[in-house]
Amino acid sequence: MKETENTIPAFQTEAEERQFWETTDSVERVDWSKAERVRLPNLKPSTTSISLRLPTPLLERIKVAANKRDVPYQSLIKVWLSEKLDAAS
C-alpha cells in the first residue's frame, strides 16, 4: 500500500470523521502499540437520575418480569418506556 492510503485525512466535521472510521479498518492507519490509556474525569453521564414512586405490587411485578429476562429492573423499565414512546409516535 502507498503511504497516502494509510494516512488519516483531515475532517471538516465530527460526522465526517465518524463516517470515515465506521467504514475504515484502523489497523492499517493507527499504530496501536503507541496507544496510551487516558482518563476522562470530567466526563458526565448522558443519563439523568429521576425519582419515581410506584405502588409496591407494581414494582414487584416489574422485578419478576425483569428477573425472567435476566436484566436489571431499571433497564427493563427504560426499555418499556422507550418502546411505548416509539409506538405512540
> What is the distance, to the nearest Å, from the Cα of residue 64 to the centroid of all Cα atoms in its chain?
26
Please report the pLDDT score of residue 30 as a whole number: 86
Please report the pLDDT score of residue 7 as a whole number: 84
Sign of CA dihedral 3, 6, 7, 11: positive
Amino acid at 69: R
User: pTM of the predicted model, to two decimals?
Assistant: 0.50
| pLDDT by position in tens, the chain (length 89) | 444 567 889 999 999 999 999 998 888 888 889 999 998 888 887 888 899 999 999 999 999 999 999 999 999 999 999 999 999 98
Q: Give pLDDT tens digits for 67-78.
A: 999 999 999 999
Q: Which grid coordinates are listed for 4?
A: 497516502
